[in-house]
Amino acid sequence: MRVLVADDDPGSLLVARAAVEQSGHECITAADGDTAWELYRTHRPHVVVTDLKMPGLDGLSLCRAIRAADKDAYTYLVLVTSHGSRDDVLAGMDAGADDYVTKPLDPFHLRTRLLAAHRVTTLHADLADSRAALSGQARTDPLTGLHNRLKLSEDLDALHRRSARYIEDYCIALCDVDDFKTYNDTYGHLAGDSALKAVARSLTGQARDSDGVYRYGGEEFLLVFPRQSLPAALTALNRCLAAVSSLGIHHSGTTAGLLTISAGLSAYSSGHRVSSDALLQEADAAMYAAKNAGKNRVRAATVRPGNSPADSMGTPDLR
């Protein structure tokens, strides 16, 4: 563990350092509360052993500051008092301390606190890892390994706010596997699952590092293109359609005889500053327009109010 000891008494610092290092831990020392706070922010120690009374931030203020900053990890706090005052101990615990020792420092007592600190901080680290794993699972589609709608909602909200603030364009595209129900009915659900995973890999393979690929639900996928104009996104989407077709997944229920996708595209641009929900609705409507136009194609929602989506098998009608 990394242990920070804060005390304005040089003798107590020496005793504490010896006890920490004999226990096999790294020790950082500070002679006042202000320095201790800066060292805490720089090194993020697992344990802080702090004197109650010292220049700058006193022990109680330091404990409160650390607890307020403890977001991603837990720091075990040991308060050092000059006398066993119950009021001081209670005040320390109320400020966030986990334990206390009294002066003059007894190396044995401090080492026992470090043993307890190691157990507690290890437990908190394990819990943090478990929470992170659960959070990741909650935002991941178990079949394809793509991010799901929960993660999309978070990412799209952040992208929209950033794009509005910095006046940047972005695009979203809703993609749907053509005649997927027929595919499932013909080849079975296991084959359908395999096809969805193949489509997911294909879309991910075409995406830039900054792009987002999400499973939107069922046989639908949603692509997010940050800082991308509508013409550039159209080019990227047509590559995606070609990549899915090139998988060569046989589908007797389509005209092409292959598994294909249709896509609808919408853009947040200088002439079209609408909400992310509105963009999703536009992409959905454009995707259905692509289906009605013959499938295996992209349709782009126009940026002008009142116009129908433009066929984008070539260049969208942006006049």
Q: Taking phi first (over 0 means left), then psi (-120 to 50 degrees means alpha), and beta for anything else, what does residue 56 get?
A: left
Q: What are phi and psi of 93, to 5 degrees?
A: -65, -40
Measured on CA atoms in the order 238, 243, 247, 248, is the torsion positive or negative? positive
End-to-end CA distance of the chain: 64
- Show the tokens assigned to 114: 């470090």
Tokens 């229920």 correspond to what residue? 253
Numbers of helices and strands, H then E, in the chain: 10, 11
Q: At 99, which helix (H) or strand (E)?
A: strand 99-102
CB 7 within 8 A of CB 78: no
Rg over CA atoms, the chain: 30
- Provide the strand spans (E) within 182-309: 212-217, 220-226, 261-268, 298-300
Q: Which residues are catalytic?
A: 219
